[in-house]
Amino acid sequence: GAGVSQTPSNKVTEKGKYVELRCDPISGHTALYWYRQSLGQGPEFLIYFQGTGAADDSGLPNDRFFAVRPEGSVSTLKIQRTERGDSAVYLCASSSPGTLSGANVLTFGAGSRLTVL
Amino acid sequence: AQKITQTQPGMFVQEKEAVTLDCTYDTSDPSYGLFWYKQPSSGEMIFLIYQGSYDQQNATEGRYSLNFQKARKSANLVISASQLGDSAMYFCAMESNFGNEKLTFGTGTRLTIIP
């Protein structure tokens, strides 16, 4: 597609439930990122994929969070046993290397707003 | 560890005026990149401008320019001739060039352009 697509745009769930957030990156972009943005804060890094593999998952807060990208395109962020503190906007971004003088310019989606009641 | 500091939580600027959004950073890496992103109320982060740490000249992109002062570790964004559509959150971010692909963001500045 023309941009990074994220679904759902809004998700309201109850504490303890399982949630999946989907990201469809720009076609041909090999790198895919997940960030989390809490209210009043800047985005915080969660995980980065290069192709199908997670190259850096150091930002995942705990083992309730997991992400996959099985075919090197669409990615799913999975959150188990959701807690109220997981409420945030989850942003996905993709990039293609060398698009701007070596800079790794990320193109972001509009985000998935997760609310845990 | 990398850190980005944006000390202006909010700014109000008259339309057509120039505005400077402050950003200071901290890193021990000798090679890094600095970015500015705009986030309108729709939520999507929009790339504005990039400055590499070894770039000799300050980056410019249309009405955006980056005032890069390496010794002071500052990378302020200057928007000339502000427009109503510039009203948004603005985030400064940094990336290390040593194979670390993640961006570290500041807390942002909310810019409001007054007609």
Average model confidence (pLDDT) across chain A: 93
Nearest to B50 among A43, A103, A113 (CB): A103
Check whether A8 has a pLDDT greater than 80.
yes
Check whether A97 has a pLDDT greater than 90.
no
Phi, psi of B25 (to 5 degrees): -140, 165
pLDDT band per the 50, 70, 90 thresholds, residue A1: low
Which residues 59-88 in chain B show a CB within 8 A of chain A? none
Check whether B2 has a pLDDT greater than 90.
no
pLDDT band per the 50, 70, 90 thresholds, residue A101: low
Q: Within an 8 Å CB–CB cutoff, is residue B53 touching chain A?
A: no
Q: Report the pLDDT value the prediction gives residue B110, as an integer from 0 to 100.
A: 98
User: Which of A9-18, A90-99, B53-62 is predicted least confidently?
Assistant: A90-99
- Contact list, B106 vs chain A (CB under 8 Å): 42
Nearest to B101 among A35, A40, A55 (CB): A55
User: What tokens appear for A38 in the block?
Assistant: 């809490």
Q: Report the pLDDT value the prediction gives residue A117, as an integer from 0 to 100.
A: 96
Closest residue of chain A to B110, computed from CA coordinates:
A40
Nearest to B102 among A40, A50, A56 (CB): A56
Cβ <8 Å between B4 and A41: no
| CA of A83 vs chain B CAs: smallest distance (Å) | 23
Q: Report the pLDDT value the prediction gives residue A47, as an integer from 0 to 100.
A: 96
- Contact list, B33 vs chain A (CB under 8 Å): 103-104
B62-80 per-position pLDDT tens digit: 999 999 999 999 999 999 9
Check whether B18 has a pLDDT greater than 60.
yes
Q: Within an 8 Å CB–CB cutoff, is residue A110 touching chain B?
A: yes
pLDDT band per the 50, 70, 90 thresholds, residue B61: very high
Instruction: For A34-57, give one letter per residue: b (16+ CB within 10 A) or e.
Output: bbbbeeeebbbbbbbbeeeebebe
Nearest to B105 among A42, A56, A113 (CB): A42
Q: Report the pLDDT value the prediction gives residue A42, as an integer from 0 to 100.
A: 95
User: What tokens appear for A94 in the block?
Assistant: 């993709």
User: Which of A51-60, A93-102, B33-42 is predicted least confidently?
Assistant: A93-102
pLDDT band per the 50, 70, 90 thresholds, residue B99: low
User: What tokens appear for A83 in the block?
Assistant: 């807690």
CA A15 vs. chain centroid, Å, equals: 20
